[in-house]
Structure 1
């Protein structure tokens, strides 16, 4: 028996702002979108490298204001990439944290908190 990866579901309110944030700013791509009918809320998957996120406009799927942590290979390089985009809603900084490592936290348009951190190097046996 083994466990697989976790795919968080994050609430979204404004599809246009959410797409601009995740795709244009953070560099994710849209993998697929689903609506039960034409005027129903959007449920979509976005991804970047090995990170998958589901974004939902449906009431009850999840609560706004979630907090997730996403491992990166180089949080400083990602921060520099984001700053260069001059996104008007965020200028994320990287900080040393008391428990060790460096982190960058960004709030999405629906109040969800994404914390990117340097992945620990793998220890060989």
Structure 2
């Protein structure tokens, strides 16, 4: 057996806040989006490099408050870029963990936690 790529689905509730946070603040890009009709929930895919996330307003797709760990390189530069945007709802900091990683945790407007993880320097 072989396993492939995992694509997490994160619950969202507001299209404008989703765009502001994931596109405007974090720098992801929209790959595609879908809704069955006007005034129906939005489902979209965003990506940043090799990281792909599905964001869904559909009630049954996911529960708010999920946590996703994202492997990262260049965490210091990314953190500085985010700080420079002066986003009022997140001021991310990098933490050195006892298990040898450097991590930057950010909550989205819907309670989901994105943890950007960089392996420690040897």
User: In which range does the TM-score fall when normalised by the shorter chain?
Assistant: over 0.9
Question: Separation in 2 of the partners of 1:55 and 1:61?
Answer: 9
Residue matched to 1:31 = 31
Superposition pairs for residues 1-125 of structure 1, below 5 Å?
1-119=1-119
Displacement of 1:120 in angstroms is 6.8
Q: Given that residues 102 and 119 in structure 2 are in contact (C-alpha distance below 8 angstroms), is that contact kept between their aligned partners in structure 1?
A: no
Other structure's SS at 1:59 match? coil
Query: TM-score, normalized by length of structure 1?
Result: 0.92
Assess, with a 3 A threshold, how the Cα gap between structure 1 residues 94 and 9 changes in structure 2: closer, same or farther.
same
Displacement of 1:93 in angstroms is 0.3
Displacement of 1:48 in angstroms is 0.4
Query: TM-score, normalized by length of structure 2?
Result: 0.95
Displacement of 1:6 in angstroms is 0.5
- Stretches (4+) displaced over 6 A: none
Question: Separation in 1 of the partners of 2:84 and 2:42?
Answer: 30
